[in-house]
Structure 1
Amino acid sequence: MKKHSLILLASLLASPMALAEVVVIGHTSGPDSITQNQVRDIYLNRSQQLPDGQKARPFELPEGNSARSEFHDKVTGRNDAQLKAFWSQQVFTGRGQPPVEQGNAAAMKATVASTPGSIGYLDAADVDGTVKVILTP
């Protein structure tokens, strides 16, 4: 019985439903692709430009959101506490402001769709024709 429970648990963890696939999205007028390093640099205030030269306007989902956790785990390598400390320092020293937070996936998609130069991230299942996928980290 124990063996069957372990096999069931392993198959659930390995299934596509276990983890959402996070993708980086952009405005339809923006670049068709971007590198993971470029996205990291935008989200960590090291760069303010998209590959096509447009000013980058990054958007963020709220703390505790699973897509946010997966995005930052894969792209910036930082968790919520590390991001909070990083942005506190950036703001305190006058180096920058954190990405504007969107309340949920629908708000993220609508904001990126209506803001030229914008960049965000969503679960791949939430993407439609209003935005384009520019990176699958």
Structure 2
Amino acid sequence: MKKLLLATAVTLLSSTAFADVAVIVNPANGNAIDEGTIKKIYLGKAKSFDDGTKVNPVNQDGNSVSDEFNDKVVGKSSSQLNAYWSKLVFTGKGTPPEKLANDQAVIDFVASNNDAIGYIDAAKVTDKVKVIATF
């Protein structure tokens, strides 16, 4: 009985820990953006969309959504990504994306900025933004 309860608890926790992450842009953004481009944007290696518009990426501030995004899309843990950005900032080669508090803050920012890109829990998507990828 204890094993069954433990197995059930682990299953429930793992399903919530691995929620889908939706990458979102402003609905007016017509650029085609693939997974490689998203990764480059969040590593500071791409500074603009295909049409030449400067990209304005935003992160979430250290929550499970940001951990999932970093793992699935960027391919780094949060601590690895912090070390990566610390080095770029120290050498003057880059500035990390602004961190916002939660999904709603990201939705509001992306909805009001044509050049913005962000990520949220896929279950929180609204019609104020356009989903370009889900991981």
- One fold, TM greater than 0.5? yes
Q: Which amino acid aligns with 1:125?
A: A
1:12 is the counterpart of 2:12: yes
1:89: which partner in 2?
Answer: 87
State how far apart, in whole Å, the 2-side matches of 1:37 and 1:70 are.
Answer: 16
**CA RMSD between the two structures:** 1.9
TM-score by length of 2: 0.89
Partner secondary structure for residue 74 of structure 2? coil
Query: What are the ranges of 5 or more consecutive residues in structure 2 without an aligned counterpart?
Result: none
Letter in 1 for 2:71: D
Q: TM-score, normalised by structure 1?
A: 0.87
Name the structure 2 match of 1:55.
54
Moved >6 Å (runs of 4+): none
Match of 2:27 in 1: 28
Corresponding letter in the other structure for 1:4: L
Cα contact 1:24–1:121 (8 A) shared by 2: yes
Unaligned 5+ runs, structure 1: none
Look up the match of 1:124.
122
C-alpha spacing 1:92/1:18, structure 2 compared with 1 (3 Å): closer
Is 1:112–2:110 an aligned residue pair? yes
Give the Å deviation of 1:29: 1.1
Report the 3-state secondary structure (helix = DSSP H, G, I; strand = E; otherwise coil) of the residue aligned with 2:82. Answer: helix
User: Structure 2 CA distance, aligned partners of 1:33 and 1:13?
Assistant: 34
Q: Determine if the alignment matches structure 1 residue 80 to structure 2 residue 85.
A: no
- Deviation of 1:25 after TM superposition, in Å, equals 0.3
